[in-house]
Chain A
Amino acid sequence: MSSTVDKVWAILEHLTDPEIPVVTLRELGILRDVREGADEIEVVITPTYSGCPAMGQIEDDVRASLEQAGIAARVLTQLAPAWTTDWMTDEAKEKLRQYGIAPPHTLPKGVSVVQFVKRKPEPVACPQCGSTHTVVTSQFGSTACKALYRCLDCQEPFDYFKPY
């Protein structure tokens, strides 16, 4: 049976995020666990943002790709511990950068919410030219998880994946 678990991991390794097709669900930290349930395989995923419209798609993708391989699986959603961008692998962050999305900074530790809101944002490097001479255009970009930035050197607009 454990070979089935390995097989499932291998199949799911090909699944990418519906909105950012260069990173896999595992690399993003959305795919939490694959385990043997009572009579079928259980795949545990965790939502990113509460309202992320990609979650339904992700669940469908997982189920469809396992069905195709003839594996009966149940997809479980687990809320705690809450998903964080700190779970993203370095490999995933580099893929994001090459794709044109500035990867998230590591979350500051031990900072209260009120301090977090008031602090000056850390400089974000332009994924195109690497300059940190950049400004925020809007704190919400094409999706809730990204902010819209502009590079003052190469003038390119770009998305920044916000620390969450």
Chain B
Amino acid sequence: MSTLNDYLLHLADNAVVLGQRNAEWCGHGPVLEEDLALANVSLDHIGQARLLYQHAAAVIGGDASEDKLAYFREPHEFRNYTLLELPHRGPLVGYAAADRDYATTIVRNFLYSALMVMVWDKLQSSSDETLAAIAAKSLKETSYHLHHARDWLIRLGDGTEESHARAQAAVNHLLPYTEEFWTSSEAERAAVAAGVGVDVPALRADWDALVNETLAEATLTRPDFQGYITEGKVGLHSEHLSFLLGEMQGLARAHPNASW
């Protein structure tokens, strides 16, 4: 598998996995407006994933297609960040009470979109013209995702005692997973060397500044932690990805080549 392809799949898998995760709120949102918002954000992510998969399929050639890449690869072949496959469950959610915690959803969307506005911004000057074109579109969409998540994070953090506690718990729970952003994989290093990819660790100071400033505005504390580094982007995933893919891929595998 070529480097470019591996790098495109990393970007595409990030988008499709978070798109699928957030789509779980469709019909179950905490309020109608947020139900619509999350469905729209997911639609953007799935749209971005489609463009990236189409591009990757063209790079691979042969009988590769966007559907094969999305529906017929196994969990260990996915290259997304582990952060994005985790369920919407924060540590404060009891299994009996609820399946999903909106604070977890919002914190994840914030941490990821804060990174991706910077990544897409840089990728606009990628030496891969198609990727640069996809980045220019995705940047516009991701700006709105960040706007949405940041507003809600501040609202939840600086809200009621309950919302503050949940937002803080979600930050404590999810922030360690962002360590994965800052350790480059082989595919990322090769993509940077080829002028195709962006040097993500170099974005860390800007990302930190945005995160710290937003957490302060939300009256939340950034936890200290001695990290562990997840490795979803090299195919070593949590158990959650298999369940997510089981749901996402089930229809396509039960009815191969179905169309409507």
Footprint of B on A, CB under 8 Å?
Answer: 47, 49-53, 79-84, 113-114, 116-118, 137-144, 148, 162, 164
Residues on B with beta carbons closer than 8 Å to the beta carbon of A118: 150
Encode B100-111 as 1/0 by CB contact (under 8 A) with A.
Answer: 000000000000
Additional pairs, 16, CB under 8 Å, beyond known A113-B118, A139-B37: A49-B43, A49-B137, A50-B47, A50-B134, A50-B138, A50-B141, A51-B43, A53-B43, A82-B136, A83-B137, A117-B143, A117-B146, A138-B34, A139-B144, A139-B147, A140-B40
Encode B116-147 as 1/0 by CB contact (under 8 A) with A.
Answer: 01100100000001101110111111011011
Beta-carbon contact of B33 and A82 below 8 Å? no
Residues on A with beta carbons closer than 8 Å to the beta carbon of B136: 79-82
Residues on A with beta carbons closer than 8 Å to the beta carbon of B150: 117-118
Residue from A50, A83, A139, A142 whose CB has the most chain B CB atoms within 10 Å: A50
Interchain nearest-CB distance for A160 vs B (Å): 12
Encode B29-50 as 1/0 by CB contact (under 8 A) with A.
Answer: 0000110110011111111101
Residues on A with beta carbons closer than 8 Å to the beta carbon of B146: 113, 117
Interchain nearest-CB distance for B54 vs A (Å): 10
- Which secondary structure characterizes the binding site on chain B? helix
Closest residue on chain A to residue B44 by CB atoms: A51
Beta-carbon contact of A79 and B41 below 8 Å? no
Say if the beta carbon of B89 comes within 8 Å of chain A.
no
A116 vs B34: C-alpha distance when bound (angstroms): 21
Residues on B with beta carbons closer than 8 Å to the beta carbon of A114: 117, 206, 210
Beta-carbon contact of A144 and B118 below 8 Å? no
A137 vs B31: C-alpha distance when bound (angstroms): 11
Footprint of A on B, CB under 8 Å?
Answer: 33-34, 36-37, 40-48, 50-51, 117-118, 121, 129-130, 132-134, 136-141, 143-144, 146-148, 150-151, 206, 210
**What are 24 inter-chain pairs, A to B, with CB distance below 8 A?**
A49-B47, A50-B48, A51-B47, A53-B43, A79-B133, A79-B136, A81-B136, A82-B136, A82-B137, A83-B137, A113-B117, A113-B143, A113-B146, A114-B206, A117-B143, A117-B146, A117-B150, A118-B150, A138-B34, A139-B148, A139-B151, A140-B33, A140-B41, A148-B33
Give the 4 A-B residue pairs with the shortest CB-CB distance, closest first: A51-B47, A50-B47, A138-B33, A80-B133
Closest residue on chain B to residue A162 by CB atoms: B144
A79 vs B128: C-alpha distance when bound (angstroms): 13
Closest residue on chain B to residue A114 by CB atoms: B210
Interchain nearest-CB distance for B43 vs A (Å): 4
Give the contacting residue for B40; candidates A113, A137, A143; CB below 8 A: A143
Residues on B with beta carbons closer than 8 Å to the beta carbon of A117: 117, 143, 146-147, 150
Residues on A with beta carbons closer than 8 Å to the beta carbon of B44: 49-51, 144
A80 vs B135: C-alpha distance when bound (angstroms): 10
Given A51-B44, A79-B51, A116-B143, A138 and B137 contact (CB-CB distance below 8 Å): no
Interchain nearest-CB distance for A87 vs B (Å): 13
Residues on A with beta carbons closer than 8 Å to the beta carbon of B33: 137-138, 140, 148
Beta-carbon contact of B147 and A140 below 8 Å? no
A34 vs B45: C-alpha distance when bound (angstroms): 30
Beta-carbon contact of B117 and A50 below 8 Å? no
A162 vs B140: C-alpha distance when bound (angstroms): 11
Closest residue on chain B to residue A116 by CB atoms: B143
